Amino acid sequence: MRSRSYVLAAVLTALALAVLIGLGTWQLQRLHWKEDLVARVGARVSEPPSKLPAPAEWPKLDLAAWEYRPVEAAGRFRHDLESRVYTLLSDANGSLEGPGYWIMTPLELADGTGTILVNRGFVPLETAQPLERPEGEVAVRGLLRGPEDRNMFTPDDRPGERMFYARDAGAIGSGLGLAEVAPFTIDAAATPLGTLPQGGETRLVFPNRHLEYALTWYGLAGALAGVFIAFTLSRRRRADLAPPPGDA
């Protein structure tokens, strides 16, 4: 029985060590990914504005290669299709933050070839201040963004109310009944202080605690290994001190 219990403890310890070491290694992989993201974003946002990809390129566009690049677009806003995307803004560049909405407005390109959803900026949940809604042809400058990820906790969109829960051009465009919508959005550049929506709120600083997490998981693995070694040595010591079978 003692031998079986020891084998079981060894197997469970080995499994736990594999999980802990795997988690630490995964965090190191995330660390390399985050460092690459920070370097890539830092380099891209300082580039001069690029010409937008043509609508013919949209179906096969490599969004990873375009993410966070400054771009310019000209056209007319469809304020009649203005939509909201729920967000929780922290560490804002402007004066407003907290729970609120991104104001997403379709921009019909000047050449009539397609529509781009522009994230014009942030507004608080409740505000009496009217939103700026420029009319006529406008020039938009901002950062190109791919679709925002969803998870199991993301609520269902309510397209009939023009209320969405992810900054996803495909879902929003479909919900608004738009055709020829770009697979990306544009985060508009900063707006004058005090105007709404509050532009220029693209997150460019990313928390990076992956090394800390990796060391924590590896530390737990080391502690578990130390406990099991101490347990094994203690068990052997007790076995050495035990009298042989049959001794009086």
Q: How confident is the model at residue 242 (pLDDT cuts 50, 70, 90)?
A: low
Tell me the per-residue pLDDT of 49-103, one tens digit each, with 9 for 90 and over. 988 888 999 999 999 999 999 999 999 999 999 999 999 998 888 889 999 999 9
Please give the pLDDT value at position 13.
93
pTM metric for this prediction: 0.77
What confidence score (pLDDT) does residue 161 get? 95
pLDDT at 166: 96
pLDDT at position 245: 63
β strands within the chain, DSSP E? 50-51, 70-77, 83-89, 98-109, 115-124, 137-145, 163-164, 181-188
pLDDT tens digits along 123-166: 999 887 889 999 999 999 999 999 999 988 999 999 999 999 99
Would you give the distance in Å from CA 59 to the centre of its chain?
23
